[in-house]
Amino acid sequence: MSRNESKRCPWSESGNKDYQLYHDVEWGVPVHDDLTHFEFLLLEGAQAGLSWAIVLKKREGYRRAFANFDVERVARFNRRSVERLINDPRIIRNAKKIEAALINAKAFLAVQEQFGSFDHYVWDFVNGAPIVNRWRRQSQVPATSPESDALSKDLKSRGFQFIGSTIIYAHMQATGLVNDHLMSCFRHEPCQSFVQRDTSRR
């Protein structure tokens, strides 16, 4: 590991290997497939009021419990499915969050139907290219933004649940709509390089 690679965003330095791997490999990398968008929306909704470390620990359990995050299959889950999930120790057994995941799956499909893909829909809120921030301290990183406010409001109007602005900003960070790696972090520059690639997609 190079000297620069030893510098990470402070939140990832808890000693939790899953946390560090998530930071080093996924966080801030632009996502353009709907399956991953749905996965993160589901997981971030489950996180509400809890730590992301807890959710990461249960991520594989969620994958198995929610049909590999296949949104069409999740949208067909019924009352028996909810009862099964409430009793599944592999996931966070919160009835409201589980029911919201099923509601959101149906709303997600409606967005796909209207816009061609959820990806096209969500990236329009950042004009098609990642927002690159240049924070020097963790305390500068916001919990929400005008873009997350707007996206959250629109999602709510479409029937989504557990998608407040804080959750949506976390989604934007996770899926690379926003690059919030600190300037000192070795992942800031690699994630910034995606701006050029994403702009070329437009």
The active-site residue, picked from 52, 62, 135, 169, is 52
Catalytic site includes residue 123: no
The active-site residue, picked from 19, 27, 39, 44, is 44
Give the pair of three-digit tokens for residue 38. Answer: 């749905």
> Which residues are CB-contacts of 124 (< 8 A; sequence separation ≥ 6)?
none
The Cα 170–Cα 158 span in angstroms is 19
- Indicate the DSSP class of residue 163: -
Of 34, 9, 23, residue with least CA distance to 141:
9
Secondary structure (3-state) at 132: strand
Catalytic site includes residue 39: no
Of 19, 77, 27, 47, residue with least CA distance to 194:
27
Catalytic site includes residue 44: yes
Secondary structure (3-state) at 131: strand
The active-site residue, picked from 11, 22, 26, 99, is 22
Active-site residue numbers? 22, 44, 52
